[in-house]
Amino acid sequence: MFKHSNKVILSADIGGSHITTGLIKLETLQLIPSSVKEAKLDARAGAYEILMEGLKPAFEDAIEDLVDKYDMVGIAIAMPGPFDYERGIFRLSGLDKFGNLYGVDLKRFLYDQLPIEEAMPIFFKNDADCFGLGAYVAQINHGHPPNGQMAEKKEQVQGLRDSSKLIGITLGTGLGSAFVDNGDTLESGTNVPAGGHLYNQPLQFAMDMAAFEDDQVQEGFFSYGISEELISTRGLLQYVNDRVYNSGQSADYSDKIADVKQLAKLARLGLGGDAQTNRNGNGNGNVPALSALALEAFKVMGFGLGTCLKPWYEKFRPATIVLGGGIAGAADLFLPSMRKTMLTDDQKSVDIIILNADQMQATPLIGAAYGLKRSLPETHEWIKGNKLYGEPGVTSDVHDALILNAKLNFDHLDHKWRKTHQSLLPICIGVPKEFAYLETALSTQPVQAPSSAAAVNKQYDIFPYHSLGSGKILSGFEALAKHILYFTVETPTKTIAIDGYQGVDWLAFQKGLSMALTDRGYSPTWVDIASFAKPEEEIERLVAPFLGAPGAVWGSKTDLQLMDLFDRDLIKTGLTAKHLKSFKGDPVIIFGSGAGLCGPDIPVVFVELPKNEIQYRMRAGTAGNLLTSVKADYSQMYKRSYFVDWPILDQHRERIMSSIEIVVDAQWRTDINWCFKADLDAAFKKVTHAPIRVRPWFAPGAWGGDWMKNHFNQLSKEEVNYAWSFELIVPENGIVFESDNYLLEVPFDMLMASQSTAILGSDAEIFGHYFPIRFDFLDTFHGGNLSIQCHPSLPYIKAHFGEMITQDETYYILDAEPGAGVYLGFQHDIDPEIFRAELERSHQENAAIDITQFVQLLPAKKHDLFLIPNQTVHSAGANNLVLEISATPYIFTFKMYDWVRPDLNGKPRPINIDHAFKNLDFSRKGQVVQQELCVKPEILESNDNYSIIDLPTHPEHFYAIRRFEIKTGVNVQTLGKCQIMMVVEGDGVLVELPNGKVYYYGYAETFIIPAAVESYKLVHPVPDKRQDKHEGKQEALENTVKVIQAFAK
């Protein structure tokens, strides 16, 4: 026997004066009549009253019907706009209904307040759209409206009309519309108005007695900025009341007409008499005159509605128009004039259905449920009936073990979340002390801890960290919730701002923190700061000048501030202390990028996300740009991030630094580590008096190789290759701290903003907070050649891209196979015109060329240094591991020839011949290249303990390069300069400070010696390999440790 499913959707229709709820059967989309409930709701009340005294009890009351009867699979809500339907956030502002809830996250509120699982879907859709969808469901269910027959017999339509289409119109406090095509509401296209909205369409029409003599309407011309000014409850009442009170008879009409029912009753009195006579005040007293005016108002509205609807009716060509709403009950008064306005010469009727009150109540509920059902795949956990959370009755020890396992097993490579094979930074190393008693019960072994900084013979570490001592880093949302409550108690508004960087998963963050707060018995109200941003179209106009031409590779650094993207007045009026207090916060949490703009009196939690993680998420489509819903391709998103989002957010973070109380690392999917800002400030001061190593990260590329994959054991072997290592490219590197085995990463930019003088010394006067030198690897071992390229001159990069310094580079060959080479400088007989013609032909025809006809290919061996000042043609050939020692700019590469190969995505990489030829220096050719660009080492000092080798750079380079060749040890002074170092030969090196502390850095690891260190000693790490003066010279050569050093001249 067939068994009906007991799965239902809880639907709600939220209006300005009431909320209606009901249960809709999932399979049939039928309303269960006994489940319908209606509760009063004052949409103009205070925030607390609407949320806690209106919405919450209405939903709780509706859910009571579910107990032991039905299985609820979701909540569907019909909601008036403007509203952020995808995220569930109020966007109605000012004195309008729900204006006191502007920016409030209703979806999060329902999860926090109702007895539902976090995984249960909550769906929002415009109330007019829900009405249209509900009418569509009724139409496909044998052509009848829900729960009853149509109130007006359907008339035959002349001409071909699409039976899968209908237009739903709601006439009430506003004019709602939905253009439904085969179950979808259309919001764009030539056949529907923008957004599917009629309410904001301009409305102009004229009426004269000749054309409408039987309608007895006063002739005239009518003009409205938007159609809703006439076609709405407000418009109808204003039409009558304004004319009464402007007629000089106001003494006889002491009370204005208050509602449409009263107006319709008066209008029907006028149907039986001489309306025009009554309108002129010559009838039987004032009531007949008012009745005539009321009848006129409905007829004028009918003319206006028909005028507004007619062009779209003709374009969209629906089979049916369905009318609902409070004014629809007076259809007999406006429908004749509406229909007459819409008819064409070859059309004698318009097929219109009028819903009665019961049908009107049911239709949006069914439409909302239909929208939810269509939005979910059949495999959704709640459709299948599967629960997403653990079984009840778990003991506390097991619960703790599950949490610990989640922390340790961080490395779930989910390409739908972050598109990369690269591991996340471990959230902790080993087992944190509070979980030590569970170590033997772990289901898997913990991630191995990176070696300590002074561990000799340590291999290259992709997760280096700086220890802070105990109690400085905390983990998890529960601990954060405790301290947020502490901070909010101290503020009069019980409000905290949770600000953060681009790409933060705010939904996951809200979920984690809300659950922690509700577990403590608190009910937070979340206010979305993005709701206070300027309209997206305006933001796009503001940022467009910094993005270059459409499709361009580069933009220019913005001078916009974050506040420029927000509505200052809206923040001032919508986030006042008085308004925030009206939430009766428990607490109030303003969240999102820019939340710190609310004011200095509100404490700030700042949520960080590493730049590489932002990029992995952008590639996966789970992160986008700042304050925009536009999801461009990855290259365009990166461009906007580099030139707009990151400069704006870095500056914003610096501006609100004094208000930040807590800094959170949110790079993990469901967990966080965090620290107090005061402890982070102390850590910043501490690390500037010792060597610093940032966390490197790695990326594949079209020409990438396998040297790093084979030498750096922690790298994923699944990656196709590794082209780059961001060893020290400060705009995209973070620095990692450790406390009690927990790790926390913050941007190196943040350290520079706090301690630039301690790091750069005297050069801070030149570069400010900008770290000027970068180290990175280019790996072409068993890979390919880099593109033939050049970099812009200083004036060019300033004028076109807004950078303060240009991309001067050097290639230091860390390793090379026999026969490896570097392309550098032109052949002596270069002809620029022929060269360009060949490049253009290659690009247009996708044809290979013999580039050595134009560009020199020089042999490269280990420890060679090639100079690449700006404007120099160059490329790294295959089978090299190149250490780029360069100025910090790193994306301004003008490719001229790319060996006719696709990128890893199968598409050609951009070729920039025009930019290149505006910058190429053709004087760097022939013997000049060997003389000026191929470095000849010079011994500055040499003895039995060490040698110091100068590797002279070009006059264009603002930095110098030296190499220490260490047999035992060498004392070094910083002389007020920051020094960047790398071990380029040998197992590693010890760095000894005058205070006795010792740090170890392994082969190929980069580290910084801040200017504040003043002096240090580089020491050979293994005593039995240190060169004794009695040992042979060959052994001494093999045992020498070599360290490269770069610093500003």
Asked whether this chain's domains 7-150+360-384 and 203-354 adopt the same fold, the reply is yes
Which helix (H) or strand (E) covers residue 896, if one does? strand 894-897
Backbone angles phi, psi at 583, to 5 degrees: -75, -15
pLDDT of residue 455: 54
Is there a contact between 459 and 655 (Cβ–Cβ < 8 Å)?
A: no
What sections of 642-747 are H helices per DSSP? 646-655, 677-687, 707-711
pLDDT in tens, 210-232: 554 455 555 678 889 999 999 99
* 471 has a pLDDT exceeding 70: yes
pLDDT of residue 380: 54
Q: Average pLDDT in the 831-848 region?
A: 98
CA dist 202 and 222 (Å) reads: 11
Q: Which residues contact 1032 (CB under 8 A, 6 or more apart)?
A: none
3-state secondary structure (DSSP) of residue 601 = coil
**Residue 305, exposed/middle/buried by CB under 10 A (0-12, 13-18, 19+)?**
buried
Q: Average pLDDT in the 422-450 region?
A: 60
pLDDT band (50, 70, 90) for residue 255: low
The encoded tokens of residue 968 equal 């035992």
pLDDT of residue 457: 58
Q: What angle do CA 24, 25, 30 make, to 5 degrees?
A: 70
Q: Is the pTM here over 0.75, yes or no?
A: yes
Q: Which residues contact 555 (CB under 8 A, 6 or more apart)?
A: 546, 547, 548, 639, 640, 642, 643, 644, 801
pLDDT of residue 449: 37
CA dist 710 and 700 (Å) reads: 14
In this structure, which amino acid lies at residue 863? H
pLDDT band (50, 70, 90) for residue 4: low
pLDDT of residue 254: 42
* 280 has a pLDDT exceeding 50: no
Per-residue CA distances from 975 to 570, 942, 1009, 1013, 1014 (Å): 52, 20, 11, 10, 6
Is there a contact between 783 and 837 (Cβ–Cβ < 8 Å)?
A: no
Q: Average pLDDT in the 600-609 region?
A: 96
pLDDT of residue 346: 57
Q: What angle do CA 380, 386, 391 make, to 5 degrees?
A: 145
Q: Which of 130-139, 390-399, 427-436, 894-903 has the lowest mean pLDDT?
A: 390-399
Q: Which residues contact 459 (CB under 8 A, 6 or more apart)?
A: 712, 713, 1002, 1003
Is there a contact between 441 and 401 (Cβ–Cβ < 8 Å)?
A: yes
* 1045 has a pLDDT exceeding 80: yes
Backbone angles phi, psi at 990, to 5 degrees: -95, 140
* 143 has a pLDDT exceeding 70: no
pLDDT band (50, 70, 90) for residue 377: confident
The percentage of residues in the chain with a pLDDT greater than 90, rounded to a whole number, is 74
Which helix (H) or strand (E) covers residue 137, if one does? helix 127-140
Q: Which residues of 318-340 are buried (b: 16+ CB within 10 A; e: fewer)?
A: bbbbbbbbbbbbbbebbbbbbbb
CA dist 204 and 202 (Å) reads: 7
Q: Average pLDDT in the 160-178 region?
A: 86
Is there a contact between 609 and 501 (Cβ–Cβ < 8 Å)?
A: yes
The encoded tokens of residue 702 equal 């079209």
* 150 has a pLDDT exceeding 50: no
Q: What CATH code would you report for 938-1049?
A: 2.60.120.10
What sections of 380-476 are H helices per DSSP? 381-384, 396-408
* 381 has a pLDDT exceeding 60: no
Helix axes 506-519, 477-489, angle to 10 degrees: 70
pLDDT of residue 344: 64
CA dist 915 and 923 (Å) reads: 18
Distance, CA of 383 to chain centre:
29
Q: Please state, rounded to an integer, the average pLDDT across all residues of the chain.
A: 88
Is there a contact between 743 and 673 (Cβ–Cβ < 8 Å)?
A: yes
Q: Average pLDDT in the 512-521 region?
A: 96
Q: What angle do CA 164, 166, 169 make, to 5 degrees?
A: 165
Q: Which residues of 204-216 are buried (b: 16+ CB within 10 A; e: fewer)?
A: ebebeeeebeebb
* 759 has a pLDDT exceeding 90: yes
CA dist 577 and 575 (Å) reads: 7
pLDDT of residue 807: 98
Residues forming beta bridges with residue 895, ordered by sequence position: 789
* 418 has a pLDDT exceeding 50: yes
Q: What CATH code would you report for 203-354?
A: 3.30.420.40
Residues forming beta bridges with residue 590, ordered by sequence position: 497, 527
Is there a contact between 877 and 820 (Cβ–Cβ < 8 Å)?
A: yes
Q: Which CATH class is domain 7-150+360-384?
A: alpha beta
pLDDT of residue 246: 61
The encoded tokens of residue 470 equal 């105990």
Architecture of domain 477-671: 3-Layer(aba) Sandwich (3.40)
In this structure, which amino acid lies at residue 693? R
* 571 has a pLDDT exceeding 60: yes
Q: Average pLDDT in the 875-879 region?
A: 99
Q: Which of 220-224, 374-378, 445-449, 801-805 has the lowest mean pLDDT?
A: 445-449
In this structure, which amino acid lies at residue 712? F
* 650 has a pLDDT exceeding 80: yes
> How does DSSP classify residue 94?
T
Distance, CA of 757 to chain centre:
33
* 453 has a pLDDT exceeding 60: no
Of residues 734 and 344, more confidently modeled: 734
pLDDT in tens, 917-947: 999 999 999 999 999 999 999 999 999 999 9
pLDDT band (50, 70, 90) for residue 408: low
Which helix (H) or strand (E) covers residue 61, if one does? helix 56-64
pLDDT of residue 435: 58
The domains of the chain are located at: 7-150+360-384, 203-354, 477-671, 938-1049
Of residues 207 and 829, more confidently modeled: 829
Is there a contact between 855 and 823 (Cβ–Cβ < 8 Å)?
A: yes
pLDDT of residue 490: 80
Q: Average pLDDT in the 829-848 region?
A: 98
